[in-house]
Amino acid sequence: MIPLIDWSENAADPAGFAKQVGTACRDTGFFVLKNHTVPGTLRARVFAQADAFFALPQQDKARVSILNTPHFRGWAKPGDESLDETTAQVDTKETFNIGLDLPTDDPRVVAGEPFRGVNQWPDLPGFAETMLAYYDTAQDLGISLLRVIARDLGLAEDHFTPAFHDPLSALRLLSYPPGTGADNEIGAGAHTDYGAITLLMTDGEPGLQVRPRGGDWIDVPHVPDAYVVNIGDCMMRWTNDIYVSTPHRVIPPKRRRRSVAMFIEANPDTVVQALPGTGTPKYAPIRAADYLMSRLDATYAPKDLQ
């Protein structure tokens, strides 16, 4: 079962709320979060703008292709990604990625630092403004959840905050076409997320499945206006495997399926290593940017990064 957790309980019972979140992060690595702080009007605008973008002619979307840049920003057409590294399946989804918004003269952009490029924007009125407003709002919710996680782990509540002020976080719009019934078809192949935590909002169309350790695939329930939240590999590594990053996939839907994922990632130079009180480290320390690059290299073919 995927737990349903009520964000409003955080204010009424901080200790009890942290225990709920911590139990979910240890057991399934997934939970559904209702009554959160992200306005419904903003979420609706994001879906509307995403629909407008994916409806554009392919040649217009290709002008902002993710293959134009080594910084993983822009449009990825169906087939550009293969999330399941163990099969020959290619994902049928198309996506659009947005990162921390930086000007062209930012020293990190000029220096060509990994993940520090400029965003690519389609020629759609209000698209950039809507996505950047959502990026900031979702990032704030992610930071708030990290404060709860720190509380659960017996750390100072602001333990993670300095590591997320200049983040690698990525906003991803996704569109899945209806399935055709082909045997080798998959909306998004089985994978675990790479970062700290993921905040996912969906349109309610079924398709997302989770495979708890030692179990079989189960459907993730849709709760209107709620987020699906899951732990990523970086947080699993950070907690020395106390929290679990759980495999999930999207099977081909019966109708077009839309979702919006916010991947909460640390600052590039943050050193990810076993947190205090988590026992003998199972992993060597690593910079957050280096870890993320190692994971993305397996998702995109090397020729796609040039």
- What is the spatial distance between Cα 242 and Cα 97, in angstroms, rounded to a whole number? 30
Class of CATH domain 4-299: mainly beta
pTM: 0.94
The amino acid that residue 281 corresponds to is P
User: What tokens appear for 143 in the block?
Assistant: 């930071």
Predicted local distance difference test score (pLDDT) of residue 247: 96
Helix (H) or strand (E) holding 4: strand 4-6
Q: What is the pLDDT of residues 269-306, one digit of tens each?
A: 999 999 999 999 999 999 999 999 998 876 654 333 32
State what percent of residues in the chain have pLDDT above 90: 89
Structural domain boundaries of the chain? 4-299
Alpha carbon 73 to its chain's center: 14
Alpha carbon 34 to its chain's center: 18
